[in-house]
Chains A and B, each alone.
Chain A
């Protein structure tokens, strides 16, 4: 840390004169206070998870006839949650968490996104956390970043997006870093400084490089130990080969959350089950299950202060389609986990699945904005005020009554 700061100082003072003090590189990282002890992990489930299959409302008489090719309810191996809902057996490894109250669900939820059913706009709206009508526009920031903007003392270590992709949910004015396990910048100090210089006039490169330097230093110590070309090559290929696995991502997130990170986000794909859903959703559920279990194991005692929200862009059609799958729908389900959760319950008002109760006569009718659950979780974990949540973090949201998510 000290080495980085000193080098930045030398570089900046040599090249930039006195503008250094205004640089974001001079955020006094070491002095910043950690904003509380609670942790929030947001997992974006990309591709539209079929909530009706994951948390099966087997007690609703309209479910089974609409899905003749699916395995539904406790008779086919799902785990009975409360006599009405049953958990898909693909999540059975999470059963002990359910019993301990560390796993819960909210059903019939959605973002404000309606009718167009595009994954890509749907995911953008989910991550932006904004109102209906903002889909298809360029989003300046994501809702986790707007949350950070309300927290004094947020540093680059506070929030982390894990994986190979940039995450809209954390993009924005507040500091946050996006990093992938095994990524590493391996440069001599002189080369690092020269690169810092050529990136100076290109804000995109300047910011990404500053963060890359910061995280490389944080994880691997001073960058001075530059490898030779062969070593760099080997590190690069090794890192690329294993860094994308769900376990690697969850382990890395847990490691950072045990240190100074309080917010982490990553995404899991594989939910777009248009065909052969009985098999394909099991693979996706396996990844979700692994992610939650690895977070729990990696967080150790801090699991008790952690809430995990796994959210998806929208749900899927009630009816099975022509190829043993489901098509894009509306109402979805939210998966929640964590030692801070007051779980063991399925939250939400059940709208029913008879045709007249469906959205557009085809999809589960949403009865609550999924952002309300995220907002109540943030209120509970971080003491964020209601007006901040409803005006700044989730503009246009009515949080409604407190569902009592946390212990």
Chain B
């Protein structure tokens, strides 16, 4: 029988870390709503810094064109950019390995996936981590409406879902240049970010939302700006509410619509179902979703209140089996279990990171910041545990530990250190029978006990 303290770390944190005391399960929310210590210890660059770096990178590439030392300059610029991205991955891993506030990391991963952005167009290059740092992370224990505004109106999201190209066809600039709408952001905003698919909105709502979003664009390639001259004139009706219609059009109308969307019961249910799905089970207990949805609506979308209700519910502490960890989570919890020093991870070179994190995660099915589309990564366990992905996880479990630690622990002690009272009898039995320490440690890290949360 697994204790609550152990489960709290495994299911809602980033896993057990040998030698660290197990905090009380009740401490999860206190830490989450307290200061973000690990972000201070391992800081990341903000978006403005990264956007300028991306623009500098692109202008270096342009300047190198035709120059005598062009190829060397281009290679140098690419190396600098590659190193920056690799450092971001290293720091993101190090935070998860170091943190005593693992719920904040887990929620940051969850919401970054909910508001997925992918690609390297213009200032997105090397800046996705900064988008998450600026728009997502500060709000994981705050109000969803604020996160929604921050994410939807962020230059990275605007670029990813083509909003800067969407012009009201009857706006001043639309009429002058024959430009028109692009529905991409409007559709995903309703389908993925708020209400959820099949929740009752129509193609007309999508179209009206697209019209309302016109005017949002980018200044200097990296700052969100609202241009009334691009905004479709006249009011828009979305889910029966009227927005827009002011002359000149204003961003306040968009903000009002986003806040209204955040307060909708469809949104509450969609988000709470996803959270339960992520932390607890793919066949969620209806009671816990109901309770969280009620807390969401009552608190005006306070995400800490929602998590507090989840953690207070019996369904949160079911003995298992829990959800399969996603590859990033798996790698973080593995490094944590092995007692790898977080500073070593944060300082690792690009080649190393590639070998023990980046490429193995690709083989496990999760290219870092490389989801297939705006819906992010999969929800179902079978999508993570299929033969080729399991082979990659087993390969990681067998090969990486002996690389990260000069002397591997005794497998029997390791099982207790990284799983506590959660290590099953069969696993203890098998670990003790491994031929080598590396294989014993590998078997533990490759076990369902460790791969599930």
Q: Which of A166, A171, A244 has the most CB of B within 10 A?
A: A166
Taking a contact as CB atoms closer than 8 A, the residue among B191, B363, B381, B427 that contacts A164 in the complex is: B363
Within 8 A of B (CB), among A98-147: 115-121, 135-136, 138
A323 touches B373 (CB 8 A): no
CB of A241 to closest CB in B, whole Å: 6
Q: Which residues of A contact B167 (CB under 8 A)?
A: 322
- Contact stretch, chosen from B40-48, B57-65, B337-345, B392-400: B392-400
Contacts of B214-250 to chain A: CB distance below 8 A: none
**CB contact between B385 and one of A180, A205, A235, A327 (< 8 Å): that residue:** A205
Tell me the complex Cα distance, A135–B198, Å.
9
Q: Select A120's contact among B197, B386, B433, B448, beta carbons within 8 Å.
A: B197
**Residues of the A chain whose Cβ atoms lie less than 8 Å from the Cβ of B321:** 202
A interface, over-half SS:
loop
Chain A residues 229 to 252 lying within 8 A of chain B, measured CB to CB, are: 229-230, 232-233, 235-237, 239-241, 243-244
How far, in whole Å, are A121 and B199 apart by their CA atoms in the complex? 13
Q: Is A360 an interface residue (CB 8 A)?
A: yes
Asked if A347 lies at the interface with its beta carbon under 8 angstroms from chain B, I say no
Which of A171, A205, A232 is in CB contact (< 8 Å) with B395?
A232
Task: State in angstroms the CA–CA spacing of A118 and B184 once bound together.
Answer: 11
**Which residues in A have their C-beta under 8 angstroms from that of B74?**
none
Compute how far the CA of A244 lies from the CA of B373 in the bound complex, rounded to whole angstroms. Answer: 17
The 8 A CB mask of B419-441 against A (1 = contact, 0 = none) is 00000101100100111001100
Q: Name the one of A177, A233, A235, A243 contacting B400, with C-beta atoms under 8 angstroms.
A: A233
B355 within 8 A of A: yes
Q: Which of A47, A190, A236 has the most chain B CB within a 10 Å cutoff?
A: A236
A216 within 8 A of B: yes
* Cβ of A112 to closest chain B Cβ, rounded Å: 15
With A236-B399, A272-B373 as contacts: A200 and B426 at CB distance below 8 Å: yes
Q: Is the CB of B363 within 8 A of A118?
A: no
Contact check: which of A119, A165, A191 meets B435 at CB < 8 Å? A191
* CB-based contact A185/B198 at 8 Å: no
User: In B278-293, which residues have CB < 8 Å from any A CB?
Assistant: none
Contacts of A272 in B (CB 8 A): 373
* Complex Cα–Cα for A363 and B42 (A): 50
Question: In angstroms, how far is the closest chain B Cβ from the Cβ of A240?
Answer: 4
Given contacts A233-B400, A275-B182, whether A117 and B187 have CB atoms under 8 Å apart is yes
Q: Mark A313-356, 1 if CB is under 8 A from B, else 0.
A: 00000001111110110000000000000000000000000000
Q: Are A164 and B181 in contact (CB under 8 A)?
A: no
Contact code string B397-418 (vs A, CB < 8 Å = 1, else 0): 0111011000000000000000
Cα–Cα distance between A236 and B433 once the two chains are bound (Å): 26
Which A residue's beta carbon lies closest to that of B435?
A190
Distance of A330 from chain B, by nearest CB (Å): 10
* Beta-carbon contacts under 8 Å, B289-304 to A: none
The residue that A322 contacts in the complex, of B180, B362, B399, B439, with Cβ under 8 A, is: B180
Q: Residues of A at under 8 Å CB distance from B?
A: 46-47, 115-121, 135-136, 138, 164-166, 171, 177-180, 183-188, 190-191, 194-195, 197-202, 204-205, 208-209, 211-212, 215-216, 229-230, 232-233, 235-237, 239-241, 243-244, 269, 272, 274-275, 320-325, 327-328, 360
Can you list 20 A-B pairs with a CB-CB distance of less than 8 A?
A: A117-B187, A135-B198, A171-B382, A186-B398, A194-B430, A194-B439, A195-B430, A195-B446, A198-B424, A202-B321, A205-B451, A208-B386, A233-B356, A233-B400, A236-B399, A239-B363, A240-B392, A269-B373, A275-B182, A322-B166
Known: A205-B385, A216-B391, A233-B399. 13 other contacts (CB 8 A): A47-B373, A119-B375, A178-B387, A194-B434, A198-B424, A198-B443, A198-B447, A212-B388, A236-B359, A269-B372, A274-B162, A324-B165, A327-B184
